[in-house]
């Protein structure tokens, strides 16, 4: 028995050695073939990665900084491999514009990552493939969003102000003690988009669907924070199946929540009184044109957009609002200038309004400078090429993953002169107004076909929320506390948990 064991383990180990040798030789052969092919195809240059995992282990804790360093060696367009996927990283305004605008049709796909496939069977329009179905789907969502943020009886102003006042009360309740504003801001940002989707609610924090959506969102963010390796190494799903089952669980729960909400809406739906985005999408789903149906759109798919809107609209705004508070405490002089402007235009006796925007250019300029300087959204969602194409003279084959490094624009020396300095006035033109052309160049909402569809909504939320906070509160650093702008990367770049103090104004 013992002999048999020894014999079989000897055979086993020599088999293992042979298999390992063949495996390594195959990998080397594939790598060499790829390198030769790369030369023949004139692919962009880039660093070597490891077999199977590619360059992933070298992304580091701050991927935009890693890519910034690589750009110095390899230029604006860099080849890397992400697990099983060939990928390029595009840096700098000019190269990004060429890809997303000049060659928009070629670069506006999305990679068929596992998570994208799992999100509504790949029908989530934020992750779906580029083509006529996505185009018409996006147009419908864009129209519904526009209608509900521009309606004459627009509930959005009230929703944003009410949320801002809830947060102000929470902050001031701490008195002179310091606190971490993270949970309050996450709740507020989620509540804004949730109420826009499903209707204004007096006690939203007590609504069970909302509470479970927020908790689900937190888990989702934690889960995706480090990226899901199964996305880029699909074979991993057989080794770590929980990575997929956990994700599927979170999606299933979110779909069940949305379906309950939609059923409640359908029960009292009145097409002459559309109350919120859900009603708007139900209406759009009932009135699809023949052309829209012909590309595969149906009411179910249109209504499912609620998940995309909530998902895309909560974390981005929460992260940016947290940076807003952090930066105000870090730069008290800027905070004072903003307060002076708000005090002159709005005063203390009335509420700030969206229509004050034109008279408060420094507030908007500061928001754009925070988006740039703090880079709360450092990358676009992953793009993919839809055909064989070229960029800056290099060949980019169909199906290549394309990482758009927006942070490289925020830090571009030629564009900003002093990108490492926080200076909101850079976004004010010689007439004292917001410099729209510079805002366009900064591109925090990306460019081209897949540019953020919620941009105008996000701008409204950020402006009114931030203005209301600054009108009523002064933020300051607790004594002896240093801010170092450290952050964590996930889908967004978030400021690490921090302490701040809040004093009442007026």
Nearer to ligand HEM, 82 or 458 (CB): 458
Could you say whether residue 71 binds ligand HEM (CB under 6 A)? no
Tokens of 506: 């007026």
Q: Contact between 126 and ligand HEM (CB under 6 A)?
A: yes
- Examine residue 366 and tell whether it contacts ligand HEM (CB under 6 A): no
Positions in 422-441 near ligand HEM (CB under 6 A):
none
Contact letters for ligand HEM, residues 131-170 (x by CB under 6 A): -------x------x-------------------------
Is residue 87 within 8 A of residue 403, CB to CB? The reply is: yes
- Give the 3-state secondary structure of residue 81: strand
Q: Rule CB under 6 A: say whether 317 interacts with ligand HEM.
A: yes
Cβ neighbors of 365 (< 8 A, separation 6 or more) are 424, 425, 426, 427, 428, 434, 435
> Per CB under 6 A, does 445 bind ligand HEM?
yes
Query: Which residue's Cβ lies closest to ligand HEM?
Result: 454
Q: Closest CB to ligand HEM among 108 and 236?
A: 108
Q: Report how far residue 408's alpha carbon sits from residue 62's, in angstroms, rounded to the nearest whole number.
A: 13
Of 236 and 380, nearer to ligand HEM (C-beta) is 380
Contact 293, 271 (CB under 8 A): no
Is residue 316 at the binding interface for ligand HEM, with CB under 6 A as the rule? Answer: yes
**For the chain, how long is the longest CA-to-CA vector?**
92
Please pick, from the candidates 185, 330, 458, 502, the single residue that binds ligand HEM as defined by CB under 6 A: 458
The residue (of 30 and 151) whose beta carbon lies closer to ligand HEM is 151
Question: Is 48 marked as a binding-site residue?
Answer: no
Calculated CA dihedral for residues 74, 77, 82, 85, nearest 10 degrees: -130
Please list the alpha-helical segments (H only) found in 75-225.
93-97, 104-107, 114-118, 132-150, 156-172, 182-198, 208-225
Task: Note the residue count of the chain.
Answer: 506
Instruction: Tell me which of 354, 381, 428, 438 binds ligand HEM, using CB under 6 A.
Output: 381
Q: Is there binding between residue 453 and ligand HEM (CB under 6 A)?
A: yes
Distance CA 504, CA 351 (A): 15
Query: Taking Cα atoms as reference points, which of 383, 458, 413, 387 lies closest to residue 156?
Result: 458
User: Tokens for 415?
Assistant: 């564009």
Stretch that binds ligand HEM, among 17-25, 222-230, 257-265, 375-383 (CB under 6 A): 375-383
Q: Is 217 in the site for ligand HEM (CB under 6 A)?
A: no
User: Is 320 near ligand HEM (CB under 6 A)?
Assistant: yes
Does residue 377 bind ligand HEM (CB under 6 A)?
yes
On whether the CB atoms of residues 97 and 113 are closer than 8 A, the answer is no
**Is there binding between residue 452 and ligand HEM (CB under 6 A)?**
yes
Residue 334 CA to residue 188 CA, distance in Å, equals 24
The site for ligand HEM (CB under 6 A) is made up of 126, 138, 145, 308-309, 312-313, 316-317, 320, 371, 377, 380-381, 404, 444-446, 450-454, 457-458
**Binding site for heme: what residues are annotated?**
452
């Amino acid at each position: 028995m013992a002999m048999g064991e020894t014999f079989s383990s000897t055979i086993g180990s020599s088999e293992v050695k042979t298999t390992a040798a063949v495996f390594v030789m195959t990998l080397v052969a594939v790598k060499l073939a790829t390198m030769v092919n790369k030369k023949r195809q004139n692919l962009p240059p880039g660093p070597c990665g490891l077999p199977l995992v590619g360059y992933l282990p070298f992304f580091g804790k701050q991927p935009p900084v890693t890519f910034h360093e690589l750009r110095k060696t390899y230029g604006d367009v860099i080849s890397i491999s992400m697990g099983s996927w060939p990928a390029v990283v595009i840096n700098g305004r000019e190269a990004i514009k060429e890809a997303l605008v000049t060659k928009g049709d070629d670069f506006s796909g999305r990679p068929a990552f596992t998570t994208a496939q799992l999100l509504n069977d790949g029908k989530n329009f934020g992750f779906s493939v580029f083509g006529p179905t996505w185009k018409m789907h996006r147009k419908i969502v864009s129209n519904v969003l526009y209608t509900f943020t521009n309606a004459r009886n627009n509930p959005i102003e009230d929703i944003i102000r009410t949320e801002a006042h809830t947060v102000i009360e929470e902050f001031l309740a701490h008195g002179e003690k310091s606190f971490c504003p993270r949970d309050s801001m996450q709740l507020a940002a989620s509540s804004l988009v949730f109420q826009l989707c499903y209707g204004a609610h007096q006690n939203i924090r007590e609504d069970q669907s909302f509470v479970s959506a927020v908790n689900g969102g937190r888990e989702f963010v934690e889960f995706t924070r480090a990226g899901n390796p199964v996305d880029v190494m699909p074979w991993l799903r057989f080794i770590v199946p929980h990575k997929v089952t956990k994700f599927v669980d979170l999606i299933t729960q979110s779909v069940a929540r949305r379906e309950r909400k939609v059923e409640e809406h359908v029960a009292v739906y009145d097409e002459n009184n559309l109350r919120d985005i859900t009603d708007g999408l139900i209406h759009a789903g009932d009135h699809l044109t023949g052309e829209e149906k012909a590309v595969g759109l149906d009411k179910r798919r249109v209504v499912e957009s609620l998940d995309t809107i909530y998902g895309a609209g909560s974390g981005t705004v929460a992260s940016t609002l947290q940076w807003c508070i952090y930066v105000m405490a870090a730069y008290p002089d800027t905070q004072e200038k903003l307060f002076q402007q708000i005090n002159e235009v709005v005063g203390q006796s009335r509420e700030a309004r969206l229509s004050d925007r034109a008279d408060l250019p420094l507030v908007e300029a500061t928001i754009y400078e925070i988006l740039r300087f703090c880079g709360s959204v450092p990358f676009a969602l992953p793009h993919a090429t839809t055909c064989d194409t070229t960029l800056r003279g290099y060949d980019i084959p169909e199906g290549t993953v394309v990482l758009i490094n927006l942070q490289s624009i925020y830090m571009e020396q030629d564009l900003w002169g002093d990108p490492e300095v926080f200076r909101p006035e850079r976004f004010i033109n010689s007439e004292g107004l917001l410099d729209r052309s510079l805002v366009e160049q900064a591109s925090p909402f990306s460019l081209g076909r897949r540019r953020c569809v919620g941009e105008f909504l996000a701008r409204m939320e950020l402006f009114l929320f931030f203005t209301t906070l600054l009108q009523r509160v002064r933020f300051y650093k607790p004594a002896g506390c240093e801010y170092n702008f450290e952050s964590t990367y996930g889908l967004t770049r978030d400021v690490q948990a921090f302490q701040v103090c809040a004093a009442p104004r007026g």
